[in-house]
């Protein structure tokens, strides 16, 4: 009998399960970082984590709060420059999986992390692209992690920050992007994957106690549901304990007061 | 290079209206130098930085900037940069022209600047709106394959300012840990100011360490804690609590103004700033791990 | 990566007719691997290397090569590479197609290969005949300034072979000292073979050291002295006398042939080669400074 | 009263005298390397020596026999990659003086280090360009060091490896090369400099006991002689002793047998 878990915990566990041993993973901060490190602590001990700060093959004891925490450098196989990590490692085609998140996603997995409203007169100015446009283009696969709401899963993006399957139907394959694009979207309800023919995202798996109807209602376009929808097993005790230990270690480490030699 | 106070370095090399790059990718962010620029009331600056972070949120809110070239403008691990948003969304304290890139594009632009090339080349901005809203992003055709590749104009800041761990007597500077885009920003600039944690007799630099020779550097200022609230590998850790608190401090204009007046404008130098925000001092650097 | 004998690594990854880059800029030149390729009788190779040095003089004289891409083909500090000259001037032992670059152009071509770009960009070959005799050198027009810049096609070797100081149990490789263009050649290649001086439990690698992760590497072979007669920083010095003697050994075809038969073809592995040329062995590496 | 000296010693001393303190110097192997280090040991203690092997600010105790000797790395301020030294340091415009040598030079300081005879069917295949074409283009000034003979100082190059003043008369200034081109040629007879108007090389200084006529006879084109020709002082005792000590240290160091841990 499992202890209860939060939606974030379920999402993190679901994302971690998608990663395999020796997978080379370009990781961002937050849930993807937690998922990738959880995978490393469980079934993927030799997973290779690369953060865009230039830390290659890092094995942090605690989760970084910033993309460039000292912990990432201390535990890395190599620390390289920012130009190198984007040129030799990402654009050079060394990345198997790149994680992406965004404020808006459309049915073809195109993402907006730049602006809500008009770019010149924004209603809400978002942080912007960072590494996303090139991660979306060059990683062999991208995994998207987002909470599913009608405001985030929209029929039309306000701005396209990084390209998924464009308008679908094989358009991306004819573009100059080398990567295969978004292969899965991990939400707080379940998993979406592109339909092999149309490349439109559809529900392929749901968490325990979540109905396909909930997923459809949480989506701003008429979300398609795959012929067969898998039931995603809840977090195991081991998954949950490992994740909570990781978060506890992280909170303890980052709670320490900072001493500066001045 | 000349060893001088940070106040003198800024007074000597930083002018209103210039293009200024202050780099450091979450590590070694030159906060002390930014505060000194704010104290000296520099304005009309074109600020360049991949991740504006709190350092440019403060400078933008203080009215130093007319333009910003950047690639990711958030509070890392926290959320929005409220002063940046206020400037972009509502033009306060003044309208801010933005030139927006991806990380890869901006890195390529710095590399081109450091290399004496007029532009950088990348497989970038593919099928995105970024290339549409940034007229600087153009394309060239490969003379071998015929494919189209993105180009970005070289970044050549008037002044680049970075923070590092050590300088020696000859002004050679050692940078340890995450090196970000600092070497490229440093070598692309017309003038280079470096703040360091300490000046030592001999750099603690193994073969293949990241070292900038003193003759590249316009001015060096010794400013212990100069990267706080970011961190300096081997000297002190990132103050994550400060980044969280900043979300509240910076959310509204008045509290932000009071905070800047009390802690930046109201302090003579970085040591006074650190004391004013209650940073715990230790004279024993060796006891501290970053 | 897989740890294997050098003989197995060459047998597994090096095929007749391939494009092979063996880099190391006077430092860490992978001589042991070249000798093994000669022993295994590989032929029709397109050899790529900035400075062919003795390593390619031997391979060309032994008949391994149909083509050579290079930028400086001398015996450093001594004079000519006689086997290279004999192949170019008189087609012995077989005609050699040459693709000639400047150092800067070849470095840019490796960087492009490592970066997944189809070409490299430089201000190069300006008003020289090199651009005329090498049809690979072309130009693009800067979309910002309108000026013309030289381009070189990306180098993408089928196999890159380098030598380094240390590998650890996971196959991560540490390269100390003059790093040349090895990282670029390694990351531009489809397969990567690394020979190392020793396999250690933990790399002696400070932050910012030049380390290649094991997952980039196809095969690692432990070959002590594998860079002799060039050197390995921290392990042994360059044997300058060998470079001088080579001028005599290689000047005429017959003495060259006898030398190769006696010392390379006639020896089973690199240790035997070192013994056959009378290299003084010391098991106490720590006592040796390079 | 000086001890007698060799032509090489006179050339090395003459080249060393041309360098100034804090000058950033891109150095090749051989005589230029000896001259630059001699200058460092005499009047230019803070001269910056950069070798194309990526050793920046190196201060070798003994002269390197190869461009990438370990001594250069051990005593350098920084060791950078080959792509970096050519892109950021040379092309980036950081070099004051670049030294060049060649097999052939013409009256406008254009150089051939590639081939004697036809490129496709060479009479003598030379080592080739190495860094020369871009040193000639990007260094603020280039200093050329060559023994003066009619076979080397030719009316017409067999091959142009690196550009000097092209056909003279300001052509170079209108080219895309940023550097100012060859400012001096140090020979075993004296110094040549480009005429300010025509950019054609002319004799401006001669060693003790050398006549302008000798210099003319040693040149394959009708060599012009400047209106005033300076007499170059012979090596001082200090110059000679410092240079000979340097060569003695070098010979001793490079004579040691190599021990390999195999």
In D, what residues contact B, Cβ < 8 A?
22, 24, 48, 56-57, 73-74, 77-79, 87-88, 91-94, 138, 178
Mutation test of the interface with chain B: which of D48, D57, D78, D87, choosing the one with the most B Cβ atoms within 10 A? D78
Round to whole Å and give the CA distance between C268 and C264. 8
Round to whole Å and give the CA distance between A169 and A200. 8
**Encoded tokens for A219:** 């989506």
* Strand partners of residue B99: B69
Please check whether residue C98 is in contact with residue C66, taking contact to mean a CB–CB distance below 8 angstroms: no
| 3-class secondary structure per residue, C97-112 | EEEECCHHHHHHHHHH
Are chains D and B in touch, 3+ Cβ pairs below 8 Å?
A: yes
Q: How far is B278 from chain C (nearest CA, A)?
A: 31
Residue among D53, D69, D257 minimizing CB distance to C280: D257
Residue B179 to residue A54, Cβ atoms within 8 A: yes
Residue among C115, C117, C211 minimizing CB distance to A78: C211
Please check whether residue A258 is in contact with residue A25, taking contact to mean a CB–CB distance below 8 angstroms: no
Those residues whose C-beta lies under 8 Å from the C-beta of residue A194, and which sit 6 or more positions away, are A108, A109, A165, A181, A182, A183, A200, A201, A202
pLDDT digits (tens, 9 = 90+) for D137-174: 999 999 999 999 999 999 999 999 999 999 999 999 99
Mutation test of the interface with chain A: which of C113, C182, C187, choosing the one with the most A Cβ atoms within 10 A? C187
A121: exposed, middle or buried (C-beta count within 10 Å: 0-12, 13-18, 19+)? exposed
Residue C213 to residue A178, Cβ atoms within 8 A: no
State which residue of chain C sits closest to A57, comparing Cα positions. C213
- Give C-chain residues touching D259 at CB under 8 angstroms: 236, 280-282, 287-288
A169 C-beta neighbours (distance < 10 Å), count: 14
Q: How far is B86 from chain A (nearest CA, A)?
A: 9
Residue D77 to residue B172, Cβ atoms within 8 A: yes
Which among A99, A190, A193 has a CA at the least distance from the CA of A147?
A190
Residues of D with a catalytic annotation lie at 52
Q: Given its phi and psi angles, is residue C141 left (phi above 0), alpha (psi -120 to 50 degrees) or beta?
A: beta
Which strands, in side-by-side order, build the sheet including D55-56? D78-79, D55-56, D48-51, D24-27, D97-100, D141-145, D182-186, D190-194, D201-207, D224-232
Please check whether residue B193 is in contact with residue B159, taking contact to mean a CB–CB distance below 8 angstroms: yes
| Residue ranges of E strands in B23-64 | 45-48
* Contact B119/C at CB under 8 A: yes
Round to whole Å and give the CA distance between A115 and B129. 11
Alpha helices, DSSP H, located in chain C:
6-13, 31-39, 53-61, 82-90, 103-114, 130-133, 182-188, 240-249, 253-260, 270-276
D touches which chains (3+ CB pairs under 8 A)? Answer: B, C
- Give C-chain residues touching D93 at CB under 8 angstroms: none
State which residue of chain A sits closest to C187, comparing Cα positions. A88
Residue C25 to residue D258, Cβ atoms within 8 A: no
Question: Is it true that the peptide bond before A61 is cis, omega within 30 degrees of 0?
Answer: no
Give me the residues of C, 88-127, that contact D with CB < 8 A.
Answer: 88-89, 100-104, 107-108, 110-111, 122-127
Residue A77 to residue C172, Cβ atoms within 8 A: yes
Residue B118 to residue C233, Cβ atoms within 8 A: no
User: Confidence band (pLDDT; 50, 70, 90) for C288?
Assistant: very low
Q: How far is A56 from chain C (nearest CA, A)?
A: 8
Q: How far is B57 from chain C (nearest CA, A)?
A: 30
**Encoded tokens for B92:** 């306060």
Residues of A with a catalytic annotation lie at 52
Round to whole Å and give the CA distance between C140 and B232. 42
Distance from CA of residue D110 to its chain's centroid?
14
- Give B-chain residues touching C142 at CB under 8 angstroms: 118-119
Distance from CA of residue D208 to its chain's centroid?
21
User: Confidence band (pLDDT; 50, 70, 90) for C287?
Assistant: very low
At C282 the pLDDT is 84
Which among C226, C232, C225, C170 has a CA at the least distance from the CA of C194?
C226
Which among C75, C80, C21 has a CA at the least distance from the CA of C53?
C75
Which strands, in side-by-side order, build the sheet including B119-122? B119-122, B148-153, B138-141
Longest alpha-carbon distance in chain B: 60
Give me the residues of C, 222-281, that contact D with CB < 8 A.
Answer: 224-225, 228-229, 231, 233, 235-241, 243, 270-271, 274, 279-281
At B122 the pLDDT is 98
Residue A134 to residue B84, Cβ atoms within 8 A: no
Round to whole Å and give the CA distance between B246 and B229. 10
- Enter the pTM of the model: 0.97
Q: What is the mean pLDDT of chain D?
A: 96
Mutation test of the interface with chain D: which of C32, C53, C81, C104, choosing the one with the most D Cβ atoms within 10 A? C104
Which among D195, D208, D152 has a CA at the least distance from the CA of D13?
D208
| Residue ranges of E strands in B86-239 | 97-100, 119-122, 138-141, 148-153, 159-167, 173-175, 191-199, 210-212, 219-222
Distance from CA of residue C178 to its chain's centroid?
14
- Give C-chain residues touching A74 at CB under 8 angstroms: 207
Q: Which residue has the higher pLDDT, A55 or D67?
A: A55
At D240 the pLDDT is 97
Mutation test of the interface with chain B: which of A75, A133, A166, choosing the one with the most B Cβ atoms within 10 A? A133
A59 C-beta neighbours (distance < 10 Å), count: 18
The number of C-beta contacts closer than 8 angstroms across A and C is: 42
pLDDT digits (tens, 9 = 90+) for A170-211: 999 999 999 999 999 999 999 999 999 999 999 999 999 999
Residue C209 to residue A78, Cβ atoms within 8 A: yes
* Contact B284/A at CB under 8 A: yes
Which among D53, C111, C106 has a CA at the least distance from the CA of B120?
C111
Q: How far is D91 from chain C (nearest CA, A)?
A: 7
At D256 the pLDDT is 87
Which among B109, B99, B76 has a CA at the least distance from the CA of B181?
B109
Alpha helices, DSSP H, located in B51-164:
53-61, 82-90, 103-114, 130-133
Round to whole Å and give the CA distance between C143 and D158. 36
State which residue of chain B sits closest to A250, comparing Cα positions. B240
Average pLDDT value for residue range B42-47: 98
Classified as helix, coil or strand, C287 is helix
pLDDT digits (tens, 9 = 90+) for C135-172: 999 999 999 999 999 999 999 999 999 999 999 999 99
At C130 the pLDDT is 96
Model confidence at B290: pLDDT above 70: no
Q: Given its phi and psi angles, is residue C63 left (phi above 0), alpha (psi -120 to 50 degrees) or beta?
A: left
State which residue of chain A sits closest to C185, comparing Cα positions. A88
- Count of residues in chain C: 290
At B288 the pLDDT is 45
B201 C-beta neighbours (distance < 10 Å), count: 6
D176 C-beta neighbours (distance < 10 Å), count: 13
At C284 the pLDDT is 46
Residue B114 to residue D88, Cβ atoms within 8 A: yes
Model confidence at B68: pLDDT above 60: yes
Round to whole Å and give the CA distance between D151 and D43. 35
Residue A176 to residue B148, Cβ atoms within 8 A: yes
C touches which chains (3+ CB pairs under 8 A)? Answer: A, B, D
Which strands, in side-by-side order, build the sheet including C148-153? C119-122, C148-153, C138-141
* Strand partners of residue B79: B75
Instruction: Supply the ipTM of this predicted assembly.
Output: 0.97
At C285 the pLDDT is 45
Average pLDDT value for residue range D235-245: 97
Classified as helix, coil or strand, D91 is helix
* Contact B172/D at CB under 8 A: yes
Round to whole Å and give the CA distance between B155 and B157. 6
Considering chain B, what percentage of its residues have pLDDT values greater than 70?
97
pLDDT digits (tens, 9 = 90+) for D31-89: 999 999 999 999 999 999 999 999 999 999 999 989 899 999 999 999 999 999 999 99
Model confidence at D1: pLDDT above 50: no
At A261 the pLDDT is 95
At A38 the pLDDT is 98
User: Confidence band (pLDDT; 50, 70, 90) for C289?
Assistant: very low
Round to whole Å and give the CA distance between C112 and C118. 6
Residue A199 is given by DSSP the state -
* Contact B216/D at CB under 8 A: yes
Round to whole Å and give the CA distance between D45 and A207. 72
Model confidence at C176: pLDDT above 70: yes
């Amino acid at each position: 009998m499992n202890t209860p878990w939060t939606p974030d915990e379920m999402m993190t566990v679901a994302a971690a399960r998608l990663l395999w041993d020796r997978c080379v993973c370009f990781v961002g901060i937050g849930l993807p970082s937690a998922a990738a490190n959880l995978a490393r602590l469980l079934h993927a001990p030799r997973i290779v984590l690369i953060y865009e700060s230039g830390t290659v093959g890092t094995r942090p004891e605690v989760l970084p709060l910033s993309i460039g925490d000292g912990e990432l450098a201390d535990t890395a196989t190599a620390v390289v420059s920012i130009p190198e990590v984007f040129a030799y490692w990402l654009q050079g085609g060394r990345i198997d999986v790149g994680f992406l998140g965004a404020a808006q996603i459309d049915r073809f997995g195109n993402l907006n992390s730049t602006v809500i409203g008009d770019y010149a007169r924004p209603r809400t100015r978002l942080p912007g692209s960072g590494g996303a446009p090139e991660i979306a283009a060059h990683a062999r696969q991208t995994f998207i992690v987002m909470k599913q709401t009608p405001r985030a899963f929209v029929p039309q993006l306000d701005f396209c920050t990084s390209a998924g399957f464009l308008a679908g139907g094989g358009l991306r394959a004819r573009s100059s992007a080398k990567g295969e694009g978004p292969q899965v979207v991990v939400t707080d309800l379940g998993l979406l994957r592109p339909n092999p023919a149309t490349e439109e995202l559809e529900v392929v798996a749901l968490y325990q106690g979540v109905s396909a109807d909930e997923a459809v209602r949480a989506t701003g376009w008429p979300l398609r549901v795959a012929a067969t929808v898998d039931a995603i097993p809840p977090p195991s005790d081991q998954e949950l304990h490992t994740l909570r230990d990781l978060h506890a270690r992280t909170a303890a480490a980052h709670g320490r007061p900072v001493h500066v030699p001045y | 290079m000349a060893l001088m106070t940070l106040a003198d370095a800024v007074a000597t090399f930083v002018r209103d209206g210039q293009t200024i790059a202050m780099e450091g990718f979450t590590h070694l962010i030159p906060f002390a130098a930014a505060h000194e620029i704010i104290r000296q009331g520099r304005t009309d600056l074109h600020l360049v930085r991949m991740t504006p972070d709190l350092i440019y949120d403060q400078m933008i809110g203080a009215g130093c900037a007319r333009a910003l070239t950047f690639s990711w403008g958030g509070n890392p691990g926290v959320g929005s940069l409220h002063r940046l948003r206020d400037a972009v969304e509502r033009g306060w304290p003044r309208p801010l022209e933005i030139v927006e890139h991806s990380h890869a594009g901006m890195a390529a632009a710095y590399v081109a600047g450091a290399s004496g090339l007029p532009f950088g080349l990348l497989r970038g901005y593919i099928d995105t709106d970024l290339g549409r809203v940034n007229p600087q992003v153009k394309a060239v055709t490969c003379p071998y394959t015929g494919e189209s590749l993105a180009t970005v104009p070289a970044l050549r800041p008037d002044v680049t300012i970075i923070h590092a761990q050590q300088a020696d007597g000859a002004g050679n500077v050692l940078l340890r840990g995450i090196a970000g885009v600092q070497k490229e920003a440093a070598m692309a600039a017309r003038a280079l100011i470096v703040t360091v944690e300490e000046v030592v007799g001999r750099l603690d630099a193994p073969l293949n360490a990241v070292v900038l020779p003193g003759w590249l550097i316009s001015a060096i200022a010794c400013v212990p804690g100069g990267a706080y609230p970011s961190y300096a590998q081997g000297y002190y850790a990132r103050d994550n609590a400060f980044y969280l608190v900043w979300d509240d401090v910076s959310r509204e204009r008045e509290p932000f103004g009071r905070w800047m007046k009390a802690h930046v404008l109201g302090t003579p130098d970085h040591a006074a700033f650190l004391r004013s925000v209650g940073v715990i001092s230790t004279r024993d650097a060796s006891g501290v791990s970053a």
